[in-house]
Amino acid sequence: MRSIHNEKGLPRREYWQELVSQQEQSGLSVHAFCKQRDVTEASFYNWRKQLRNNTGVGFALVDAQGKADKPKAPVELVLASGDRVQIAPGVDAATLRMVIGVLRERS
C-alpha cells in the first residue's frame, strides 16, 4: 500500500493520529477544531473511527508498587475504554490472553 504524505511529511495515518490526539487535548469541539485546521468533519470522524478500531487494547502501567493503605496488584492495565484490569503475581498466561481477547471483542 502506497503511503501518502501531507505537508508535514508524515504518512497519512500518522498525520491523522496526530490530529485526533491534538483535538482530544485541545478542549475544542470537533466542529471548531476541524474548522480551525481546515479539514472536513467527515474525514476527521472517519479517521478517528478507523484509528480507534485498529488500536485493539491500549494500556499503560499505572502503578507497579501498590500503596500500603490500599493493597493493589503489581500491574494495573488501563484500557482505552477506561476499564482497569489488575494482574496479580503468578497469573496464568493463557487466562490473561483469554481476558484480553474478550476485552478486544467488546470494544
pLDDT tens digits along 1-24: 344 446 656 788 888 889 998 998
Q: Do residue 75 and residue 34 come from a single domain?
A: no
Residue 19, judged by CB atoms within 10 A of its CB (0-12, 13-18, 19+), counts as: buried
Length of the chain: 107
Question: 67 pairs with which residues across the strands?
Answer: 70
Q: Is residue 5 part of a domain?
A: no
The per-residue pLDDT for 101 is 74
Tens digits of per-residue pLDDT, 45-61?
A: 988 888 887 655 555 55
Count the domains in the chain: 2
Q: Do residue 70 and residue 98 come from a single domain?
A: yes
56 — alpha (psi -120 to 50), left (phi > 0) or beta? left
Q: What contacts 98, CB < 8 A, 6 or more positions away?
A: none
The domain in which residue 17 lies consists of 12-53
pLDDT bucket at 39, cuts 50 / 70 / 90: very high
Q: Do residue 20 and residue 36 come from a single domain?
A: yes
Integer Cα distance of 50 and 7 in angstroms: 21
Q: Do residue 69 and residue 95 come from a single domain?
A: yes
Q: Is residue 21 part of a domain?
A: yes
Q: Is residue 2 part of a domain?
A: no
The per-residue pLDDT for 5 is 47
Q: Do residue 49 and residue 62 come from a single domain?
A: no
